């Protein structure tokens, strides 16, 4: 988090005639026009030839290898009518960490010399275009300064700028508010130059070039930081390096916190492996329309970041002439501008084909008692089918191995006439009954502590559901617990199949989950022997958890001796969970 400044700064600033002109424009309410993207314009002008030699310096490498190309880009922006052009030095602090690799085309390899060259090239462009004192030079620096080495490089940079100072220092493309943020701003202000700050920020927080949001909710954190920046003596606050649609609403929100001049210069496009991908949907006229929208939201300074061109800036210059920035605070009106159609003003919840809301899922509220199994992927597979098909409505139902009560509660929520839940664990039955009460269906639910092997059916049911424990276990292992040793992992499944003819009412249906580490052929044989037929109505994927890893050797032994199987996905082992619908034959 950014630290509060220790003092309110009023440094003795070095104000050039060109910067004094900017202050006068702002005082009169006239727009200040920045330039557009340097690195992307260099890439476009040089057909990508500079990209490979850029040393990861995002355009700054061109000062090493092709300063003439930088001069051409600056001249184009000056001719477009900019009030400020930025030096091609955004990555200069990173350049301080790049080892010299021999003489560059310009004869310079030391980063401080490259910083000086950046100013000289910008100054030459202004002189050649006849704009001395009517176009200011902003020395551009990536303001996300992390670590002591970068801070020291910034301190050294301020010494370099004493010799041939630019008109202002622009710390841009900043993101998080760190302790280093305050220290970097203080170092910049200590140069005596006017300092402008620009952040990758929208109303949702830190915002990336693709519109992605990096952090969680911050409340007023950035707004309060803006107050601190103003108290420290910063000259202007802007947002940049974000998609144009994310500018909306940011400036009116900031105006609630600060009286600093505010501005915006977003990207057009995004970076890809093949270079910058320009957003061809937004030409100069469309960008000028967006600039008018930002102006109506309080933008006093407008320009462009990566992907914008001199043509875009020339259109903005023409469009904003004679306009006044709004002082409006709060959110902008909806439905304005060429990008307003992208964000719906009313979003509807996701629903299924029958109109039932699926986001969030109507999942039962569950609390788990001590030692009660968390519902597995297999149990969730059964639950999904019960929800989707409204299984149990008006029926008498039995949940075998109820565990947390997930399936019991869903059957009752589906308007079952009655649900009886059984489990070998007393705590599981108590948890199921408590969860039935928690979900408002207690009057439809009963429960009993019953070992499946001891179950003597006294009633018949229209629906039986079961997601039973299935684990092949080596009988030579010292395995403890209430469940008997189970070489094939299917004792409970086979026993339930044998009980189903006595549990199912006429026309009754059972839904049973089976893992793929159990034999399908064996299940089919047991069903046939019981006079039952089964079919797969759904399946899902069940990753190996720690208990399965512990019994891996026995699982592989069972798979070698039967048609049981699981999937191997790289280093991951995944079972298939099948949901069987079982009925009487004929």
Q: How many CA atoms lie within 13 A of 220 on its CB side?
A: 8
Close Cβ partners of 318 (under 8 Å, ≥ 6 residues apart) = 81, 288
* Six token digits for residue 566: 């699981």
Band the pLDDT of 44: cuts 50, 70, 90.
Answer: confident
Whole-number percent of the chain with pLDDT over 70: 89
Task: List the one residue out of 361, 363, 390 whose CA is nearest residue 375.
Answer: 363
Lowest mean pLDDT among 48-52, 79-83, 406-410: 48-52
User: Given this model, what pLDDT does residue 13 score?
Assistant: 64
Task: Report residue 492 as tokens.
Answer: 């409970």
The CA-atom distances, in angstroms, between 338 and each of 176, 247, 554 are 30, 13, 63
Beta-carbon contacts of 255 under 8 Å, excluding residues fewer than 6 positions away, are 262, 298, 327, 328, 329
Question: Does 11 have pLDDT greater than 50?
Answer: no
How much is the pLDDT for 484? 57
Q: What percent of the chain has pLDDT over 90?
A: 75
How is domain 17-339 classified at the CATH fold level? TIM Barrel (3.20.20)
Q: How far, rounded to the nearest angstrom, does the alpha carbon of residue 425 sit from its chain's CA centroid?
A: 42
CA distance 319 to 456: 85
Compute the distance between CA of residue 160 and CA of residue 92 in angstroms, rounded to an integer: 12
Domain positions in the chain: 17-339, 377-584
- In the chain, what is the straight-line distance between the N-terminal and C-terminal CA atoms, in Å? 71
The structure tokens listed for 549 are 């890893």
Mean pLDDT of 43-49: 63
Burial class from Cβ neighbours inside 10 Å (0-12, 13-18, 19+) for residue 288 reads: buried
pLDDT in tens, 467-481: 999 999 987 765 555
Fold topology of 377-584: Rossmann fold (3.40.50)
Distance CA 235, CA 196 (A): 5
Strand order in the sheet with 168-174: 32-33, 301-302, 262-265, 236-240, 195-199, 168-174, 136-142, 84-86
pLDDT of residue 211: 84
CB 403 within 8 A of CB 373: yes
Q: Is the pLDDT of residue 371 over 80?
A: yes
Contact (Cβ atoms closer than 8 angstroms) between residue 252 and residue 330: yes
Provide the pLDDT confidence category of residue 46 given band limits of 50, 70 and 90.
low
CA pair distance 346, 492, nearest whole angstrom:
50
pTM given for the model: 0.68
- Tens-place pLDDT, residues 379-403: 999 999 999 999 999 999 999 999 9
Angle at 545 between CA 485 and CA 557, to 5 degrees: 50
Q: What per-residue confidence (pLDDT) applies to 278?
A: 79
Q: What is the pLDDT of residue 253?
A: 95
Q: Is the pLDDT of residue 558 over 60?
A: yes
Position 215 confidence tier, pLDDT thresholds 50, 70, 90: confident
- pLDDT score, position 83: 98
Nearest by Cα to 195 from 232, 239, 154, 242 = 232
Q: pLDDT band for position 53 (50/70/90)?
A: very low
Task: Give dist(CA 207, CA 215) in Å, integer.
Answer: 9
- Tokens encoding 67: 């300063």
Beta strands in 266-325 (DSSP E): 269-272, 275-278, 301-302
Characterise 449 by phi-psi region: left (phi > 0), alpha (psi -120 to 50), beta (else).
Answer: beta
Backbone CA torsion sign across 6, 7, 9, 12: negative
What are 98's strand-pairing partners? none
Residue reference for tokens 């010299």: 100
More confident residue, 342 or 209: 209
What's the mean pLDDT when you consider all of the chain? 89
Tens digits of per-residue pLDDT, 257-312? Answer: 999 999 999 999 877 766 778 788 899 999 999 999 999 999 999 999 999 999 99
Handedness of CA 279, 283, 286, 291 (dihedral sign): positive
Q: Are 119 and 164 in contact (CB under 8 A)?
A: yes
What pLDDT score was predicted for residue 481?
A: 52
Over range 410-424, report the average pLDDT. Answer: 97
């Amino acid at each position: 988090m950014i630290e509060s400044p220790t003092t309110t700064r009023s440094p003795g600033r070095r104000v050039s005639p060109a910067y004094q002109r900017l202050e006068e424009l702002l005082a009169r309410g006239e727009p200040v026009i920045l330039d557009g993207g340097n690195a992307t314009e260099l890439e476009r002008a040089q057909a990508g030839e500079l990209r490979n030699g850029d040393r990861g310096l995002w355009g700054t490498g061109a000062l090493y290898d092709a300063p003439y190309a930088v001069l051409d880009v600056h001249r184009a922006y000056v001719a477009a009518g900019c009030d400020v052009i930025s030096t091609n030095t955004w990555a200069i602090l990173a350049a301080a960490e790049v080892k010299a690799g021999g003489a560059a085309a310009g004869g310079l390899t030391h980063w401080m010399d490259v910083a000086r060259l950046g100013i000289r090239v910008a100054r030459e462009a202004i002189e050649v275009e006849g704009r001395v004192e009517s176009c200011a030079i902003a020395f551009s620096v990536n303001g996300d300064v992390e670590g002591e080495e970068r801070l020291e490089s910034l301190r050294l940079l301020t010494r370099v700028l004493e010799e041939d100072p630019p008109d202002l220092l622009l710390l841009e493309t900043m993101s998080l508010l760190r302790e280093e943020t305050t220290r970097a701003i203080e170092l910049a202000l200590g140069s005596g130059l006017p300092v402008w700050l620009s952040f990758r920020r929208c109303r949702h927080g830190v915002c990336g070039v693709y519109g992605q949001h990096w952090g969680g909710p911050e409340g007023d954190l950035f707004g309060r930081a803006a107050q601190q920046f103003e108290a420290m003596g910063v000259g202007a606050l802007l947002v940049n390096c974000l998609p144009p649609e994310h500018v909306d609403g940011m400036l009116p929100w900031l105006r609630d916190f600060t009286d600093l001049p505010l501005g915006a210069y977003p990207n057009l496009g995004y970076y890809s492996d093949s270079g910058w991908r320009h957003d061809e949907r937004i030409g100069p006229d469309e960008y000028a329309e967006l600039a008018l929208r930002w102006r109506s939201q309080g933008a006093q300074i407008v320009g462009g970041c990566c992907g914008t061109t001199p043509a875009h800036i020339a259109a903005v210059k023409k469009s904003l002439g004679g306009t006044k920035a709004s002082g409006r605070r709060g959110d902008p009106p909806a439905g304005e501008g060429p990008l307003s159609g992208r964000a719906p003003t009313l979003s509807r919840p996701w629903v299924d084909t029958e109109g039932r809301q699926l986001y969030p899922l109507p999942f039962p509220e569950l609390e788990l008692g001590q030692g009660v199994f968390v519902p597995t992927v297999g149990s969730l597979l059964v639950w999904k089918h019960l929800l989707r098909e409204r299984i149990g409505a008006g029926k008498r139902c039995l949940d075998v191995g109820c565990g947390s009560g997930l399936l019991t509660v869903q059957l009752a929520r589906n308007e079952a006439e009655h649900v009886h839940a059984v489990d070998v664990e007393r705590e599981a039955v108590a948890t199921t009954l408590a969860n039935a009460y928690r979900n408002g269906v207690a009057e439809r639910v009963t429960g009993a502590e019953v070992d499946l092997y001891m179950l003597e059916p006294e009633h018949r049911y229209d629906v039986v559901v079961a997601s039973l424990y299935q684990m092949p276990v080596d009988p030579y292992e010292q395995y403890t617990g209430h469940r008997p040793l189970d070489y094939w992992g299917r004792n409970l499944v086979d026993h339930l199949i044998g009980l189903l003819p006595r549990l199912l009412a006429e026309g009754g249906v059972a839904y049973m989950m089976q893992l793929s580490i159990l034999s399908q052929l064996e299940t089919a044989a047991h069903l046939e022997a019981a006079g039952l037929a089964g079919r797969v109505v759904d399946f899902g994927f069940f990753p190996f958890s720690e208990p399965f890893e512990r019994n891996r050797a026995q699982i592989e032994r069972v798979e070698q001796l039967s048609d049981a199987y699981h999937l191997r996905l790289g280093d991951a082992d995944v079972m298939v969970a099948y949901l069987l619908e079982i009925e009487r034959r004929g």
